[in-house]
Structure 1
């Protein structure tokens, strides 16, 4: 049984279409079909239900796919372990971080201590994507406000931080230190996309206060949101930890929310079953100390 044959099987199982799989694998469709048929002949049992060029895993195929994916994962882990034998100076750390203003400072301090470590940051959108990437060893760590839950995933709380309401310096609330959230019921909010976890959290706090927030702008970047607030186009929820230096911007005012209690917890997640390089282990220890 060939490694390439198993890779072909995995791709066909994922796409459920022979022609599309052949195109992705850059092989001819007849060659791919023959390869799958040879695999089934060797196993002595069909793995797919066929409907023209469309195929679908049967019960045997689903069971076999799980084993094949585990085998590929073990090979990937072995490759990482061998590379790590070169030592900390040549390690790689892959991660997702949902704190855009914290990341540069965090990485600068870590790389000052370990200048030869290579850091790869992934862009992920949801808790499901984070869990899948941890499960599949695509990343070493997630540093996020969204707890990542799974049977093999460890989650360690790093810090809990209150949300503030940020208003422009000329705003009617700008002379105050604190606010009840219900007082902002009629204000235009500048928010992240409704698909993000942070937006779900802040909308939930507004509903808890007794109103549905009016979103004047929906943006993808935290920095762009802060710029629009500075221009006087609305107000927004912020976390001082996420703002970095802009938390003390003279063009905005941070108001403590007295009711309801608005907070967010940040943590780090990793998969306990996956091999962590010496570089990754040192990075995890550094991050824990960084947030103390």
Structure 2
């Protein structure tokens, strides 16, 4: 049995289509079919059910795929561990997040110090991030919603107040603070259902005892600011400055208390390269140093810093 056979088998098993697998692997289909047949001969059982040109992973194939995934992941971790011996600069960091809004600046700062570290970043939903961690596909998830799954560690790295952004000329634009009850009848711009920030924003409104009139739903943080500036409505925003040419008018929310905590999560059983460990430590230092003056520096209730 050869390592190449396992790579080929995993691709065919995922696609259940020999032609598509051959195209993805960039080899001739007859060569791929021959490799899979030779693997089946070595194992002594068929791994696929074949009906004409259709192939489906059978019971033997599903069982073997689980072990193949595990073996290839262990080999990949071994490769990364050996690469670590060459030093931090040759490492890689695999990261998943629902928003890049808070990560772009620290990523740039880290890469300016370690320009040869390779990053692979995936934008994913909460459900996808949890699965990516459990499958060992990523080193870290950066999220504002706790995962709370056994075997996954979570470290709070950024605590920020949430503000209410209003358009220029708005009746509250000259105010420095506001209670959410005062804007119960205002049109709101919000994230789409299922987006982590949407869940948090809805909870803020529930605490205030209001049902927001959502007139627009988006999935990009930058769209929030643009639509508020255009006068479409008000919105919850973080403390970051943003990239718009005109600064947002942000009002401090007096009641209820509106804050969010961003966490870095990782699978305890996964090997973390030197580059990944250094990035985790760097992120903690970066946000501690860059914490805005008007934000509290202590962790939100319910979170505990983990040092692993």
Q: Distance in 1 between matches of 2:71 and 2:197?
A: 37
Q: Distance in 2 between matches of 1:245 and 1:49?
A: 54
For residue 234 of structure 1, report the CA deviation from its aligned partner.
Answer: 1.3
1:174 counterpart residue number: 173
Change (3 A) 1:31 1:220: same
Q: Distance in 2 between matches of 1:73 and 1:7?
A: 11
For residue 225 of structure 1, report the CA deviation from its aligned partner.
Answer: 1.7
Q: Distance in 2 between matches of 1:251 and 1:150?
A: 37
2:267 counterpart residue number: 271
For residue 38 of structure 1, report the CA deviation from its aligned partner.
Answer: 2.6
1:9 counterpart residue number: 9
TM-score by length of 1: 0.83
For residue 256 of structure 1, report the CA deviation from its aligned partner.
Answer: 0.6
Aligned pairs for 1:255-270 within 5 A: 255-259=252-256, 261-270=257-266
Residue 54 of structure 2 corresponds to residue 58 of structure 1? no
Aligned pairs for 1:44-123 within 5 A: 44-97=44-97, 100-111=100-111, 114-123=113-122
Aligned pairs for 1:1-292 within 5 A: 1-97=1-97, 100-111=100-111, 114-207=113-206, 209-240=208-239, 243-244=240-241, 251-259=248-256, 261-292=257-288
Change (3 A) 1:121 1:168: farther
For residue 119 of structure 1, report the CA deviation from its aligned partner.
Answer: 4.7
Choose between structure 1 and 2: higher helix proportion. 1
Q: How many residues align?
A: 287
| Stretch moving more, 160-169 or 7-16 | 160-169
- Unmatched segments (≥5 aa) in structure 2: 289-308
Change (3 A) 1:89 1:12: closer
For residue 115 of structure 1, report the CA deviation from its aligned partner.
Answer: 3.6
For residue 104 of structure 1, report the CA deviation from its aligned partner.
Answer: 4.0
Change (3 A) 1:61 1:257: farther
Q: Distance in 2 between matches of 1:164 and 1:28?
A: 57
Change (3 A) 1:38 1:110: closer
- Unmatched segments (≥5 aa) in structure 1: none
Q: Answer whether contact 1:117 1:279 (CA < 8 A) is retained.
A: no
Change (3 A) 1:233 1:37: same
For residue 212 of structure 1, report the CA deviation from its aligned partner.
Answer: 4.2
SS of equivalent to 2:252: strand
TM-score by length of 2: 0.79
Q: Deviations over 1:138-190 (max 9, x none)?
A: 43222221334544422122244332211124212224344343432332222
For residue 99 of structure 1, report the CA deviation from its aligned partner.
Answer: 5.7
For residue 31 of structure 1, report the CA deviation from its aligned partner.
Answer: 4.0
SS of equivalent to 1:244: coil
Q: Distance in 2 between matches of 1:53 and 1:212?
A: 55
Change (3 A) 1:190 1:119: farther
